[in-house]
Amino acid sequence: MAPEPWPPYIFIDQRGGLSGLDYELAQAIMKEAGCALRVEMALPTLRRQMEFRQGRLDLTLGASDTAERRAFARFSLPYRNETVALFTSPANAARYRGLDGFDAILTRHVTLLTPRGGWYGDSYARALPQLDAAGVRNPFSSYELGMRMFKAGRADVIMGDMAAVRHEAERQGVPLATLPWVPFRAPAHLMLNAASTTPEELVRINAAITRLEQSGALAAIRARYGSN
């Protein structure tokens, strides 16, 4: 795998090594499955996605299982959940509390910061061309940059993985209010390259996830990060 810094899921710790929720979960699963996890140089999101599709990487963490991706990948059982949320400033919380979909964002011309890559649900995928055509969407390449953009007033609302946005907001000292509507909530999977891994390896990994869930080992790791 090629890691992408994405606190709290994966990051460089104070000792200079990799840490984070996804990294610890993946380590535990691969060890239980009897697989070696080799970590290559960190890559930006789009480059990492390209190298995975070209068969140069075997594993991606925290992936959504989609029909498009099944053309070149296979997916493990879920090993945690993910929630995509909308956030605004506390001063604007009452103003935007009634947002209940991307149609409302378009109708009210609410400016929106969103991650540049990744899957954030069918409703977002359908709305993306309209959001871009209306000029209300401003993409960011990392949560660190996205939070700096939000702090600088580049948009009314920021969308992203709930844990990642909250982590970065706390790190930068940016007060946030979470809006009630949740654009996307789904289980997260390990995504294996269909060309460079085998169905038998997936069976071993799924069996490892099942055993670690039954023993409480994965739940203990998730609990340390405040995740479910």
Q: Which amino acid is at 140?
A: F
Q: State residue 62's pLDDT score.
A: 92
Q: State residue 41's pLDDT score.
A: 84
Q: What does the pLDDT look like over 186-195, one tens digit per residue? A: 999 999 999 9
Average pLDDT of the segment spanning 139-149 = 95
State pTM to two decimals.
Answer: 0.79
On the question of pLDDT at 228 being above 80, the answer is no
CA distance 94 to 96: 6
Partners of 11 in the beta sheet? Answer: 19
On the question of pLDDT at 24 being above 90, the answer is yes
Which tokens sit at 100? Answer: 């209940």
Q: What does the pLDDT look like over 51-75, one tens digit per residue? A: 998 889 999 999 989 899 999 999 9
97 Cβ partners below 8 Å, 6+ apart?
179, 180
CA distance 128 to 93: 24
What 3-state DSSP class applies to 216? coil
CA distance 47 to 12: 20
